[in-house]
Amino acid sequence: MKSFFKNNIIPIFFGTFLSKFIGFIRQVFIAGAYGIGIAYDAYNYAYIIPGFLIIIISGINGPLHNALVAVLTPLKTKEAAIILNQVSLKITVILLLIGCLVFLKADFIIPFLAPNLNNESQIIAIQQLKILSPCIPLSGFIGLSYGALNTKNKFLISSLSPSIISLVTVIFIAFSWLNNFQDFGISYLSKSLLLATATLTGTTIQFFIQLYEIYKTGLLDLKITLMKATHAEKRILNLILPASLTSGLGQINVFVDMFFISSFRGAASGLAYGNLLIQAPLGILSNTLILPLLPKFSKLINKNKKDQVKQILIEGIEYCFLSTIFLGGLFITFNGLIVELVFQRGAFDNQAVFMVQKILIAYAVGIPFYLYRDLLIRFYYSIEKTKLPFQISLVGIVLNIIFDWLLTGAPTINNGNLLSFNYGAVGVVLSSGFVNLIVCSILSLRLSKNNYDIPNLLILKKVVFKVISSIFASSISLSLLNQIYYARNSFISKITLLVIGFAVFTLIYYVLTKFFKVNKLYLKSKI
């Protein structure tokens, strides 16, 4: 247990924390330079296609990563290197073709994704998409290297690697400031394309670092030979294809969300800022929990130790809800202070604060189901049952389209909105939360058909008590803070208020979950 914690949990937590922190700094710089203006709106639309492919292909806990961990972990280094080489060749060729197609058809893709985006934003987005297109083939090897390194229990580099793009972006923006202190940039066009250029540069650097790390592990085989697919290679491809489709279907919801908010100026930027605040701590929780469990699940399943697998899964679920309900409560309680402290400077004005504040609350409501969904889907991958997640993803897309349409006022082509209310960006975030709740419910109930039944009613009871604890913690901490602090105009007063509020909230949440007996964690002791 101690060695597992030292060699796995600590490196993952440290690497992910540092990566998320640098990503956080990146977003602070972007907020100061761009606010919720045209250039950043355009970048978010330009990044949809590359980001979609990067997430499903090169992301940690993505299909490539999960498939390689499941198949390569039991193999010897030499055999694993040959398989990795063959899979890399095939995937790289496919992604290279896709990258070329995206570059050539950028002027078609952007209007299709954002039909209501104004002309200026569309022009900038098209140029940014062309710059970002080489990221697509590079992402393939990055994703493969994540999985390959983790089969060798090399978690630190994989966890740190995503921070490179963020660091490069910070450097690029800082350099533009040094060149022109008055308007936070150089020429307007250069400033508009800066984010895309920084992303491509960072991805390229990330590629070479991952290449070097693979070389050090002995998994790099540079022989370009076309061999008949082995059983292990077929197994990887069989896992990748349905899993990629499933992840891809999940990302289609991003397309849908962006499509419905394209007529709202600043909405894409607002979603990006709100998502960053949520994903930074959520990513730490996800990687810390899910990443080390995947090889553990694979080993236990290969040994047919289903009881141990089931126990670890249940404890993982309890950890998931205990941490995310706490996190969601914090964001709902202190959303205004958080947004002001993090982003309000430079181009990020009061209007931007108000928009992101509402979006953050909507994200916070659905936080538990984001992590729970990822845990369940990754578990289904581990037991090589990918059909159900794929089917549920299809249902999720349909539901998301319906909810997005309804919560943005039920827009029509010629007759305007059918409904009197329109929640804009907040609506699409709430829609995602509803969909994740439904998806999680179905996946949980279907576990029993795969001989991994879990005590759903007991878990639901514990979740309810955790939610009650969070509500009480929020109410009491805000009430106490209103008696202590009234002024929040200065940076120091805001920091002080947030620190005190965090401490009060944490203490009350801990005491109440202890009282209800729903805060016990056994995960570490079992692993």
Report the DSSP beta bridge partners of residue 411.
417
Strand positions, DSSP E, 80-214: none
Q: What is the pLDDT of residues 26-85, one digit of tens each?
A: 989 999 888 888 889 999 999 988 887 777 765 555 666 666 666 666 666 666 666 666
Domains: count for the chain = 1
Distance in angstroms (rounded) separating the CA atoms of residues 163 and 340 = 24
Neighbours of 175 (CB within 10 A): 12
C-alpha closest to that of 510 among 323, 318, 286, 328: 323
pLDDT given for residue 185 in this prediction: 40
Coil, strand or helix: which one is 417?
strand
pLDDT given for residue 378 in this prediction: 81
Distance in angstroms (rounded) separating the CA atoms of residues 361 and 5 = 34
DSSP state of 411: B
Query: 412: pLDDT confidence band, cut at 50, 70 and 90?
Result: confident
DSSP state of 230: P
The vertex-16 CA angle with 433 and 295, nearest 5°, equals 85
pLDDT given for residue 450 in this prediction: 79
Query: 334: pLDDT confidence band, cut at 50, 70 and 90?
Result: very high
The overall average pLDDT reported for the chain is 81
Query: 331: pLDDT confidence band, cut at 50, 70 and 90?
Result: very high
Three-state secondary structure string covering 422-446: CCHHHHHHHHHHHHHHHHHHHHHHH
Query: 509: pLDDT confidence band, cut at 50, 70 and 90?
Result: very high
Backbone angles phi and psi of 485, in degrees to 5: -125, 135
Q: What is the pLDDT of residues 428-484, one digit of tens each?
A: 999 999 999 999 999 999 998 878 888 888 999 999 999 999 999 999 988 877 776
Coil, strand or helix: which one is 388?
helix
pLDDT given for residue 53 in this prediction: 77
Strand positions, DSSP E, 37-108: none
Domain of 122, in residue numbers: 2-526
- In b/e form, how buried is each residue of 331-343, taking b as 16+ CB within 10 angstroms? bbbbbbbbbbbbb
Least confident window among 115-129, 205-219, 488-502: 205-219
Least confident window among 16-25, 342-351, 459-468: 16-25
Backbone angles phi and psi of 411, in degrees to 5: -70, 145
Please give the C-alpha separations between residue 189 and each of 166, 270, 495, in angstroms, as whole numbers. Answer: 21, 22, 36
H-state helical runs in 180-305: 188-217, 231-260, 267-302
- In b/e form, how buried is each residue of 246-282, taking b as 16+ CB within 10 angstroms? bbbbbbbbbbbbbbbbbebbbbbbbbbbbbbbbbbbb
Q: What pTM does this model have?
A: 0.79
Can you tell me the mean pLDDT for 96-123? 90
Cβ contact 71:90 at 8 Å: no
Distance in angstroms (rounded) separating the CA atoms of residues 334 and 203 = 34
The gap from C-alpha 303 to its chain's centroid, in whole angstroms, comes to 32
Instruction: Identify the helix (H) or strand (E) that includes residue 511.
Output: helix 491-515
Q: Round to the nearest angstrom and report the end-to-end CA distance of the chain.
A: 6
Can you tell me the mean pLDDT for 73-99? 74
DSSP state of 229: P
Reply yes or no on whether the pLDDT at 400 is more than 80: yes
Q: What is the pLDDT of residues 157-194, one digit of tens each?
A: 666 777 888 999 999 988 877 766 444 444 445 677 88
Q: What is the pLDDT of residues 468-485, one digit of tens each?
A: 999 999 999 888 777 765
pLDDT given for residue 383 in this prediction: 81
156 or 434, which is more confident:
434
Distance in angstroms (rounded) separating the CA atoms of residues 408 and 419 = 8
Distance in angstroms (rounded) separating the CA atoms of residues 417 and 388 = 35
14 or 151, which is more confident:
14
Residue in this structure with the two tokens 């978010």, named with its chain if needed: 44
pLDDT given for residue 139 in this prediction: 80
Distance in angstroms (rounded) separating the CA atoms of residues 230 and 462 = 46
Reply yes or no on whether the pLDDT at 25 is more than 80: yes
Distance in angstroms (rounded) separating the CA atoms of residues 261 and 264 = 5
Distance in angstroms (rounded) separating the CA atoms of residues 82 and 88 = 10
